[in-house]
Amino acid sequence: MATRTLWHHARLATLVGGADDGWGLIDDGALLTEGERLVWAGPLRERPPSACEAASVDLGGLLVTPGLIDCHTHLVYGGQRAAEAEMRLNGASYEAIARAGGGIRSTVAATRAASETELFTLAARRAQALMDEGVTTLEIKSGYGLSMEAEARCLRVARQIGSDRQVDVRTTFLGAHALPPEFDGRPDDYIAAVCEWLPALHAQGLVDAVDAFCENIGFTPAQTRRVFEAAKVLGLPVKLHAEQLSDQGGAALAASFGALSCDHLEHLSAEGIAAMKAAGTVAVLLPGAFYMLRETRLPPIAALREAGVPMAVSTDHNPGTAPGLSLLLAAHMACTFFRLTPLEAVRGITVHAARALGLRDRGQLAAGQRADFVAWDLDHPNELAYWFGHNPCRRVVAGGQERA
């Protein structure tokens, strides 16, 4: 029989309901878990009779929220790109660096040269930094191998992080990230190869979703469609790096495939917003890349808000445009740069981040949800999007088990 535990003496921010329901605050609250699941959440005085037989854990009056979810990362790669960051600071554009052979390609070379053990060591260290700040679910993309063997290696590393660490990892195949050097001048041939690799990678249990980079320095909408059609045959959900540097109509294309999310979105059109709304597609905001690239065009936050499109927030951790490893800082940036409210930002790293991964069993503190929650040395959950530069996380429970 699964262990039953009553976690009490806490202020709960349940985030139950919609945005109009606020934080869902419960003073002198408690959580009853059984194995990996929450079976009850509410005021301690209203605890169910079954709580009497449960083990008891005093949370010391800390603020408790759902576990954080980082729904867009590129954690598995070799090398780093500080020199390119310096070039940008000296005036070079991201596009110019990419066209000169830098950018993603330089990381591909370093990733291909690294062993699987080396990649795991590096990625696990990055994952641990996120976990230390309360992340309990983590999406990890491939996309820095760009060959069948190297992409499989990166996806295996992502799976290993999920099996070796107390974090639930969702893997995304991003073979259509950039054109590798051996396919120079042959993007259609490369897309054909990506579509051929996908069934084999899926058969190995390495793929939870499929992504692509639809952009003027990435792949065309027609090429992206081919990748999505291959994913659809396998029953795999899709998501898209869309409208980051230009409007390619990628969001509407992704929405036509029922995409889980469209990410970046600085150049998102009204048509794209309408398509995302109709499809139930989540907008994933990536303020770290906006900041690192010193962009000036904001995602259309007010229009997304008015349309009722859910907005998630993520680190987008990657070596080129978002090397940060703090989801709380991403939430702070989403408020500062994009003018999200603190409630929107916190829902963006919990409720809506879960939805961006197709997960309905986490992101809130309610019966039936996964027992993922974090205890913070804070008075109010709005402080999660306020403070930066220090870590108020004190205790993390993932799948009903407290992390050491």
Residues 159-200 pLDDT 10s: 999 999 999 999 999 999 999 999 999 999 999 999 999 999
pLDDT at 178: 95
What are 60-107's pLDDT values in tens digits? Answer: 999 999 999 999 999 999 999 998 889 888 998 877 887 776 788 899
Could you tell me the two tokens for 259?
């995409």
Nearest-angstrom CA–CA distance, 165 and 135: 12
Q: Where are the domains of the chain?
A: 4-66+364-402, 68-356
CB 256, CB 279: distance < 8 Å: yes
What are 133-146's pLDDT values in tens digits? Answer: 999 999 999 999 99
Nearest-angstrom CA–CA distance, 61 and 401: 19
pLDDT at 94: 72
The domain 4-66+364-402: what is its CATH number? 2.30.40.10
Nearest-angstrom CA–CA distance, 31 and 16: 14
pLDDT at 1: 67
Listed as ranges, residues in the chain with pLDDT below 70 are: 1, 101
pLDDT at 20: 85
Q: What's at 244, amino acid-wise?
A: Q
Helix 148-164, helix 187-203: angle, nearest 10: 40
Rg over CA atoms, the chain: 21
Residue 303 has a CB neighbour count (10 Å cut-off) of: 15
**What kind of architecture, by CATH, is found in domain 68-356?**
Alpha-Beta Barrel (3.20)
Pick from 337, 333, 338, 316: which is nearest to 325 by CA?
316
Pick from 244, 240, 265: which is nearest to 253 by CA?
240
